[in-house]
């Protein structure tokens, strides 16, 4: 019996939960912050000292006592503090009625509680400074010590995918070595005798042949998730090569993704291959459209995810299953569904949840016309998938539905 035609297939939520329940985060390693870009942080980053570590001038100007400032103020310039100045330039308290020249980023002299920008100042002939203001608020233009974070504060939480700004924070807080989840090792097996390499010219294609679009799509999606260690192999629809490729993949990978060959057709060898290797499915068939024949299994710590072969099914199941699996393996937050207003009437369907590509304008979604799961062309203008849950009642215009943006 075709497992994908069982009378009671699991729902999307049930199938995803089964799959995620066997996904354990991969191990960790320590790398320099320069090598951590795009990696998933395994331990939180804390500050080694206050941020900023001193009262810091936010302007080029004059450090003053705020109470000294009025329209007639003339202050004697008694010092200068540059960025990085040594302690003797700012630790001697500034006297009342005096001002220090100060640079942006410089420590504010002891006793000063405001900085007036140089643009609002003028120098008199007797080397005193006046200001074109009536008064100045206390702490004006001073970035106060520990205003951003106190020493020992958590500034980046574990599970964060590290971007350039996170690298800057690590550098600023003395975290030169970061514990991150190691790079995910992925093998992608695409199938189909009719599938030719993407570089195949038109003249080289026979009428019944197509170019491999699924492989580049899945590799690109993985790249967007920060996964670059991907081995992509295309295998012919024969039992021997399929078995050899599958056996090698589970020995060298954290995640094996297959595309096509996942049903029970005469030349769909993958389900029988996994069975020969003693690997039983935890999911084979899900009550969704498109993507019904999804396959999932595990061998030791290797996750196996089989996607259907039609390109829109691959696009859908990559977002519905592959994306969450990668997040779980790398200990990242799962994808978040949003809410949009649907501008279409949708006929009821009791058997399966449907995931349809839409355009979105100001949280209003419009279904894209499509010709089935082989119609990749209609995805060009898509913003993401809406989730049309199965039921007996039609979905009317103006209803709110879940929406998952495409990884772009």
For position 348, which CATH number holds?
2.40.340.10
Q: Is residue 363 part of a domain?
A: yes
Q: How far apart are CA 197 and CA 131, in angstroms?
A: 72
Let me know whether 387 and 273 are in one domain: no
Q: What mean pLDDT value characterizes the chain? A: 93
Question: What tokens does 405 get?
Answer: 């943006």
Least Cα distance to 178 among 25, 27, 329, 41 occurs for: 41
On the question of pLDDT at 392 being above 80, the answer is no
- Angle ∠(325,328,333) on CA atoms, nearest 5: 115
Q: How far apart are CA 119 and CA 62, in angstroms?
A: 10
Burial class (CB in 10 A: 0-12, 13-18, 19+), 386: buried
Let me know whether 104 and 132 are in one domain: yes
**Number of C-beta neighbours around residue 297 at 10 A:** 23
Q: How far apart are CA 247 and CA 134, in angstroms?
A: 80
Least Cα distance to 141 among 53, 54, 51, 62 occurs for: 62
Q: Is residue 299 part of a domain?
A: yes
Q: Is residue 373 part of a domain?
A: yes
Q: From residue 134, give the alpha-carbon distance in Å to each of 69, 72, 116, 131.
A: 7, 8, 12, 8
Let me know whether 195 and 322 are in one domain: yes
Would you call 240 helix, strand, or coil by DSSP?
helix
Let me know whether 20 and 36 are in one domain: no
On the question of pLDDT at 209 being above 90, the answer is no
Least Cα distance to 219 among 229, 210, 209 occurs for: 229
Let me know whether 174 and 221 are in one domain: no
Q: How does residue 223 score in pLDDT terms, banded at 50, 70 and 90?
A: very high
| Predicted pLDDT of residue 371 | 87
On the question of pLDDT at 197 being above 90, the answer is no
Q: Is residue 150 part of a domain?
A: no
| Predicted pLDDT of residue 264 | 65
Q: Say which residue, 340 or 263, is predicted with more confidence.
A: 340
**Sequence-ordered list of residues with C-beta below 8 angstroms from that of 97, at least 6 positions apart, any chain:** 68, 75, 76
The pTM score is 0.83
Least Cα distance to 54 among 133, 151, 135 occurs for: 151
Least Cα distance to 284 among 303, 299, 264 occurs for: 264
DSSP string, 42-103: SS-EE-SS-BSSS-EESSSEEEE-GGG-STT--EEEEEEE-TT--GGGTSSPPPTTEEEEE-
Q: Is residue 152 part of a domain?
A: no
Q: How far apart are CA 320 and CA 13, in angstroms?
A: 10
**Number of C-beta neighbours around residue 55 at 10 A:** 22
Q: Count of domains in the chain?
A: 4
137-171 pLDDT, tens digit per residue, is: 999 999 999 999 999 999 999 989 999 999 999 99
For position 33, which CATH number holds?
3.90.105.10
On the question of pLDDT at 277 being above 90, the answer is yes
| Predicted pLDDT of residue 89 | 87
Q: From residue 63, give the alpha-carbon distance in Å to each of 99, 114, 336.
A: 6, 6, 48
299-336 pLDDT, tens digit per residue, is: 999 999 999 999 999 999 999 999 999 999 999 999 99
Q: Is residue 51 part of a domain?
A: no
Mean pLDDT in residue range 78-93 = 92
Q: From residue 57, give the alpha-carbon distance in Å to each of 21, 155, 209.
A: 52, 23, 67
Let me know whether 314 and 187 are in one domain: yes
For position 89, which CATH number holds?
2.170.190.11
Let me know whether 276 and 316 are in one domain: yes
102-131 pLDDT, tens digit per residue, is: 999 999 999 999 999 999 999 988 889 999
Rg (CA), the chain: 31
- Find the domain containing 161 and state its range: 28-46+157-181
Q: Is residue 89 part of a domain?
A: yes
Kindly report the length of the chain: 408
What are the phi and psi torsion angles at 87 (to 5°)? -60, -35
Mean pLDDT in residue range 72-78 = 94
Let me know whether 349 and 370 are in one domain: yes
SS3 content of the chain, % helix, strand, coil (to 5): 25, 30, 45
Q: Which of 45-49, 155-159, 300-304, 395-399 has the lowest mean pLDDT?
A: 395-399
On the question of pLDDT at 7 being above 70, the answer is no
Q: How far apart are CA 356 and CA 387, in angstroms?
A: 7
Q: Is residue 84 part of a domain?
A: yes
| Predicted pLDDT of residue 206 | 87
Least Cα distance to 222 among 327, 297, 312 occurs for: 327
The DSSP secondary-structure symbol of 238 reads -
Q: From residue 77, give the alpha-carbon distance in Å to each of 88, 89, 98, 117, 135.
A: 16, 13, 6, 15, 18
Let me know whether 110 and 189 are in one domain: no
Least Cα distance to 142 among 59, 76, 206, 70 occurs for: 59
Let me know whether 12 and 138 are in one domain: no
Let me know whether 251 and 387 are in one domain: no
Q: How far apart are CA 288 and CA 127, in angstroms?
A: 80
Let me know whether 37 and 166 are in one domain: yes
Q: How does residue 3 score in pLDDT terms, banded at 50, 70 and 90?
A: low
| Predicted pLDDT of residue 1 | 54
Q: From residue 303, give the alpha-carbon distance in Å to each of 50, 184, 282, 326.
A: 43, 11, 11, 10
């Amino acid at each position: 019996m075709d497992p994908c035609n069982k009378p009671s297939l699991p729902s999307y939520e049930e199938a995803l939960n089964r799959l995620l329940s066997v996904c354990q985060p991969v191990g960790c390693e320590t790398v320099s912050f320069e090598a951590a870009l795009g990696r998933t942080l395994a331990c939180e980053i804390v500050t080694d000292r206050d941020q900023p570590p001193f009262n810091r001038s936010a302007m080029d100007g004059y450090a003053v006592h705020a109470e000294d400032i009025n329209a007639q103020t003339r202050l004697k310039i008694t010092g200068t503090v540059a960025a990085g100045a040594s302690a003797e330039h700012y630790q001697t308290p500034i006297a009342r009625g005096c001002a220090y020249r100060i640079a942006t980023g410089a420590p504010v002299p002891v006793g000063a509680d405001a900085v007036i920008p140089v643009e609002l100042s003028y120098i008199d002939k007797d080397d005193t400074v006046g200001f074109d203001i009536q008064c100045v608020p206390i702490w004006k233009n001073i970035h106060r010590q520990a205003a951003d974070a106190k020493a020992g504060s958590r500034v980046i939480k574990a599970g964060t995918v590290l971007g350039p700004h996170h690298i800057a924070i690590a550098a600023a807080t003395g975290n030169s070595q970061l514990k991150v989840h190691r790079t995910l090792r992925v093998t992608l097996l695409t199938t189909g005798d009719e599938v030719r390499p993407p570089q195949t010219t038109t003249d080289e294609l026979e009428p019944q042949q197509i170019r491999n679009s699924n492989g580049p799509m899945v590799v690109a999606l993985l790249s967007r998730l920060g996964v670059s260690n991907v081995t992509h192999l295309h295998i012919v629809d024969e039992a021997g090569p399929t078995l050899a490729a599958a056996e090698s993949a589970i020995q060298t990978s954290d995640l094996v993704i297959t595309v096509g060959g996942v049903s029970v057709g005469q030349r769909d060898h993958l389900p029988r291959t996994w069975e020969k290797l003693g690997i039983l499915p935890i999911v084979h068939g899900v009550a969704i459209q498109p993507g019904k024949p999804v396959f999932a299994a595990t061998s030791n710590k290797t996750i196996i995810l089989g996607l259907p072969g039609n390109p829109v099914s691959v696009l859908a199941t990559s977002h519905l299953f592959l994306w969450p699996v990668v997040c779980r393996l790398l200990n990242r937050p799962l994808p978040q569904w949003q809410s949009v207003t649907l501008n279409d009437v949708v006929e009821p369907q009791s058997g399966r949840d449907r995931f349809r590509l839409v355009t979105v304008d100001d949280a209003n979604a419009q279904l894209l016309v499509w010709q089935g799961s082989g119609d990749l062309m209609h995805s060009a203008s898509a913003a993401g998938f809406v989730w049309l849950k199965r039921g007996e009642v039609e979905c009317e215009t103006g209803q709110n539905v879940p929406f998952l943006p495409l990884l772009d």
